[in-house]
């Protein structure tokens, strides 16, 4: 695996190194030792999967508050998504900044989302599947979110947002 840190310290794009032969290909998608070597949290409490039917489906921007902050390792296993994270660490020099990356089934790329980051994505095609490992169990009383169109962040989505849950549309404007 190749780890490339984004402009948001502690957030990494992870490119899986495919090995190909006459059978097809193989790539390691997770290795606790490699995550630890890069100073990343390798703990996994849950593995989640989502399926989105339509292009332009928005999921996020989600995070959990103290003491249930979570690390996520996100990969698109079918189709394509534009994945976005926002740095919500008040003491960080990149506080309230965001980065986005295209994750596709074909590019074998994952995104490591540190604790205290909001995370969400929009599907770029119909029938997209996303698989992610999460370091904490879901804690409903700690759940928070940011609307995809919150003016504080001005995220530039590459796809028109067409499908959003009522819950994700109802998050108030962000305030620390």
User: Is 116 domain-assigned?
Assistant: yes
Calculate mean pLDDT across residues 154-163: 97
Q: Is residue 55 part of a domain?
A: yes
Express each pLDDT in 115-128 by its tens digit. Answer: 999 999 999 999 99
In a domain, 125, yes or no: yes
Give the pLDDT confidence of 127-144 residue by residue, as tens digits: 999 999 999 999 999 999
Is residue 2 predicted with pLDDT exceeding 90? yes
Q: Model's pTM, two decimal places?
A: 0.94
Q: Write the pLDDT tens digit of every residue in 19-60.
A: 999 999 899 899 999 999 999 999 999 999 999 999 999 999
Domain membership flag for residue 38: yes
176 located within any domain: no
Active site residues: 62, 132
Q: Which residue is listed with tokens 């999967």?
A: 49
Residue 176 has pLDDT above 90, yes or no: no
Asked whether residue 158 is assigned to any structural domain, the reply reads yes
Q: How far apart are CA 75 and CA 21, in angstroms?
A: 23
pLDDT digits (tens, 9 = 90+) for 49-102: 999 999 999 999 999 999 999 999 999 999 999 999 999 999 999 999 999 999
Distances, alpha carbon 141 to alpha carbons 61, 65, 68, 144, 172, in Å: 16, 9, 10, 9, 16
| 10-24 average pLDDT score | 94
Residue 175 lies in a domain: no
What pLDDT shows up at residue 51? 98
Cis omega (within 30 of 0) on the bond before 61?
Answer: yes
What CATH number does residue 64 fall under?
2.60.120.10
Domain limits for position 34: 2-18+27-167
Residue pair 58/168 in contact (Cβ under 8 Å)? The answer is yes
Please report the pLDDT score of residue 175 as a whole number: 80
Per-residue confidence (pLDDT) for residue 35, from 0 to 100: 95
Q: Look at the chain and report how many structural domains it folds into.
A: 1
Asked whether residue 92 is domain-assigned, the answer is: yes
């Amino acid at each position: 695996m190749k780890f490339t840190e984004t402009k948001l310290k502690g957030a990494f794009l992870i490119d899986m190194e495919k090995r190909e032969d006459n059978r097809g290909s193989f790539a390691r998608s997770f290795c606790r030792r490699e995550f630890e070597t890069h100073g990343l949290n390798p703990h996994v409490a849950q593995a989640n999967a989502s399926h989105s039917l339509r292009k332009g489906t928005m999921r996020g921007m989600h995070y959990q508050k103290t003491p249930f902050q979570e690390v996520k390792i996100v990969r698109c296993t079918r189709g394509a998504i534009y994945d976005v994270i926002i740095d919500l660490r008040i003491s960080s020099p990149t506080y309230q900044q965001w980065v986005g990356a295209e994750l596709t089934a074909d590019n074998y790329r994952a995104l490591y989302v540190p604790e205290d980051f909001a995370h969400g994505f929009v599907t770029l095609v119909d029938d997209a599947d996303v698989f992610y490992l999460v370091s904490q169990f879901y804690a409903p009383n700690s759940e928070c979110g940011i609307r995809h169109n919150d003016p504080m962040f001005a995220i530039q989505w590459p796809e028109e947002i067409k499908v959003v849950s009522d819950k994700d549309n109802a998050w108030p404007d962000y305030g620390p």
